[in-house]
Amino acid sequence: MTNENTEITKGFAELGISGQLLKATLGAGYDQPKPIQEQAIPAQLEGRDILGVAQTGSGKTAAFALPILSKIIALGTKRRPKTARALILVPTRELAVQIDETFRSLAKGAHVSTALVLGGVSRFSQVKKLQPGVDVLIATPGRLMDLLKARDVNLADTTWLVLDEADRMLDMGFINDVRRIAKETHAARQTALFSATMPPEIEQLAQSLLRAPVRVEVAPQGTTAAEIVQSVVLARTKQKRQVLSRMLADPAMSSVIVFSRTKHGADRITRDLERDGFKAAVIHGNKSQNARQTALNGFKAGSVRILVATDIAARGIDVPGISHVVNFDLPDEAESYVHRIGRTGRNGASGSAITMVDPSENSKLRAVERIIRMKLPVAADHLGEADPQREARPVGSTDRAYDENGADARHGRERDARKPQRNRSQRGGAGKPGGKSDRAAGERAQNARPAGAKPEGERPFKRKRRSFSGGKRAPARAA
């Protein structure tokens, strides 16, 4: 073992990790413990609950996986049927798969069993895997609730509960399910809750589930990795396809995730990219789990350079070497921006995040800037060809839309001055033919005629009336 490897294992050994698990950290490629691991691992080994606030890519999976595995290994392999010693509850399938891979990597050679419970794949195979009991169960709330109702899983022996990406579970409407699931676990369980942001609802959830927790906060809420270069590209929605294609022509964009706000939009972006000559894969909630995993595997292997995704993939994609994240649309929830761009610049690597902003998205841009506590610079080199001379607007300025020449609506008076002015008779409203002014003029002319005179050119006519009794027409009056 080299001196460098000795230092690595020494770092984790000082946190309380030992034996086979200590060797596994080295085999899994872990370097020196990260700040969140240094703070969270010793406290959990002491049996303390954890409330962790950490940005994505900070190393929090190992921060809860290592102490849980350390205690499970000490218990041996005896388990009751349909039970799970530890439950890791996550919001998305991709994150569940990623955490399962981490647990299996760290537990290599330690005879620790894991199981995945998530939607989109065979329920029968999951029930079969749970039948003898497992050490670690990684699950999404929806499918786990189904198995609990069918009594295919029993959480009475679950003494370790981890809620990962709790704020995302709140966004997806899973909080009530989370509370019900927590009630099914052992009364003396040890709980860890991790979240990138801490809205009031998550604070309340933490107070109800955690007992005298140790708060671990390695970065202020909403902090983005310093290694990520962030910028804004001003582009109208109709320009974005052209701008994106021109960006992707740059060979430096070697591994790119393009985020769309909607599933329909993700499909459309993928089709447009393929028409423009780029190979792309797409993942979103309407895709089966197998299709999503196939797309993600192709992206990881490098056979697919571009992955188009909705926010379902903003958390859970841990692919080394992602060079760029492109926000084709800004997310509805500003916090999702932090998780999106966190797919690049992970574990100390550098990365770039480019956000395309239509004038209608200005309010969303300002919300993002409030979350990350910085103003995003405008990248003038990516402006759409339709607006090559448009002056870059100060980020976060007025919501008033630009005109077709790129000018702010506040300069509308100058734009009006360049247009030929029409008189009142050419415009709608009072000067419009048939408008109020015309009717008033007609009434004045009518009053000026001699009594009984008819307007020039007007034909005499007799008005026919209908009787309201018996349906017969009333006789015409004499003129």
Taking only the tens place, the pLDDT of each residue in 1-51 is: 444 444 444 588 899 998 888 888 877 878 788 889 999 999 999 999 999
Average pLDDT over residues 87-92: 94
- On average, the pLDDT of the chain sits at 79
**What digits encode the pLDDT tens for the residues 41-68?**
999 999 999 999 876 667 889 999 999 9
Average pLDDT over residues 352-376: 93
Of the two residues 188 and 422, the one the predictor is more confident about is 188
pLDDT at position 423 over 50: no
Q: Token pair 């932090």 is at which residue?
A: 338
- Kindly state whether residues 207 and 245 are assigned to the same domain: no
pLDDT score recorded for residue 219: 63
- Kindly state whether residues 292 and 372 are assigned to the same domain: yes
**What is the Cα–Cα distance from 185 to 56, expressed in whole angstroms?**
27
pLDDT score recorded for residue 209: 96
**Secondary structure of residue 75 in the 3-state scheme:** helix
Beta strand 214-217 pairing with 134-139: unpaired
Average pLDDT over residues 422-444: 46
Which are the contacts of 13, defined by CB distance < 8 A and separation ≥ 6?
Answer: 22
- Residue 279: inside a domain: yes
170-174, 245-249, 277-281, 466-470: range with lowest mean pLDDT? 466-470
**What is the Cα–Cα distance from 88 to 208, expressed in whole angstroms?**
18
Greatest mean pLDDT range, 108-117, 127-136, 402-411 = 127-136
- Kindly state whether residues 237 and 188 are assigned to the same domain: no
**Which domain range does residue 261 map to?**
228-408
**What is the Cα–Cα distance from 321 to 437, expressed in whole angstroms?**
70
pLDDT at position 408 over 80: no
What the block records as the tokens of 132 is 């003898």
Contact status, residue 117 vs residue 150, Cβ threshold 8 Å: no
- Residue 426: inside a domain: no
pTM: 0.64
Sign of CA dihedral 141, 143, 147, 149: positive
- Kindly state whether residues 190 and 333 are assigned to the same domain: no
pLDDT at position 95 over 70: yes
- Kindly state whether residues 213 and 253 are assigned to the same domain: no
pLDDT score recorded for residue 454: 45
Average pLDDT over residues 62-85: 92
Domain boundary among 408, 428, 450: 408
- Confidence category of residue 272, pLDDT binned at 50, 70, 90: very high
- Kindly state whether residues 182 and 54 are assigned to the same domain: yes
- Residue 460: inside a domain: no
Between the two ends of the chain, the Cα-to-Cα distance in Å is 120
- Residue 443: inside a domain: no
What the block records as the tokens of 230 is 């962030």
Greatest mean pLDDT range, 225-239, 382-396, 438-452 = 225-239
Average pLDDT over residues 296-312: 91
pLDDT score recorded for residue 221: 58
pLDDT score recorded for residue 458: 42
Cα 283-286-292 angle, rounded to 5 deg: 35
- Residue 321: inside a domain: yes
**Secondary structure of residue 206 in the 3-state scheme:** helix
What the block records as the tokens of 376 is 């995003």
pLDDT score recorded for residue 334: 87
Average pLDDT over residues 344-349: 74
Q: What total of structural domains would you count in the chain?
A: 2
pLDDT score recorded for residue 381: 54
- Kindly state whether residues 178 and 237 are assigned to the same domain: no
Greatest mean pLDDT range, 359-368, 394-403, 426-435 = 359-368
- Kindly state whether residues 58 and 81 are assigned to the same domain: yes
CATH of the domain at 257: 3.40.50.300
CA nearest to 89, candidates 143, 133, 27, 10: 143
Torsion of CA 86, 89, 94, 99, to 10 degrees: -30
Domain boundary among 361, 376, 408: 408
- Kindly state whether residues 252 and 392 are assigned to the same domain: yes
**What digits encode the pLDDT tens for the residues 135-147?**
999 999 999 999 9
Beta strands in 310-458 (DSSP E): 324-327, 351-357
Beta strand 465-466 pairing with 473-474: antiparallel
- Kindly state whether residues 25 and 171 are assigned to the same domain: yes
- Residue 441: inside a domain: no
CA nearest to 127, candidates 160, 95, 84: 84
Average pLDDT over residues 446-459: 46
**What digits encode the pLDDT tens for the residues 321-341?**
899 999 999 999 888 898 889
Contact status, residue 371 vs residue 337, Cβ threshold 8 Å: yes
Q: Which residues pair with 161 in a beta bridge?
A: 87, 191
Q: Say what percent of the chain tops pLDDT 90.
A: 50
Cα 196 to its chain centre, rounded Å, is: 13
Q: Say what percent of the chain tops pLDDT 70.
A: 73
- Kindly state whether residues 122 and 250 are assigned to the same domain: no
Angle between helices 60-75 and 19-27 (to 10 degrees): 150
Average pLDDT over residues 240-246: 95
- Residue 419: inside a domain: no
Of the two residues 191 and 223, the one the predictor is more confident about is 191
Of the two residues 349 and 392, the one the predictor is more confident about is 349
Compute how many other C-beta atoms are within 10 angstroms of the C-beta atom of residue 279: 11
Domain boundary among 217, 249, 278: 217
Compute how many other C-beta atoms are within 10 angstroms of the C-beta atom of residue 213: 18
Q: Token pair 């089966």 is at which residue?
A: 288
Residues 360-365: contacts with CB under 8 Å, at least 24 apart = 360/237, 360/401, 361/329, 361/330, 362/396, 362/397, 362/398, 362/399, 363/399, 364/330, 364/331, 364/332, 364/334, 365/232, 365/330, 365/395, 365/396
Q: Which residues pair with 280 in a beta bridge?
A: 306
- Confidence category of residue 433, pLDDT binned at 50, 70, 90: very low
- Residue 85: inside a domain: yes
Beta strand 306-309 pairing with 256-259: parallel
CA nearest to 65, candidates 102, 96, 31, 39: 102
Of the two residues 463 and 44, the one the predictor is more confident about is 44
- Kindly state whether residues 176 and 42 are assigned to the same domain: yes
Distances (CA, A) of 268 to 294, 312, 478: 19, 17, 72
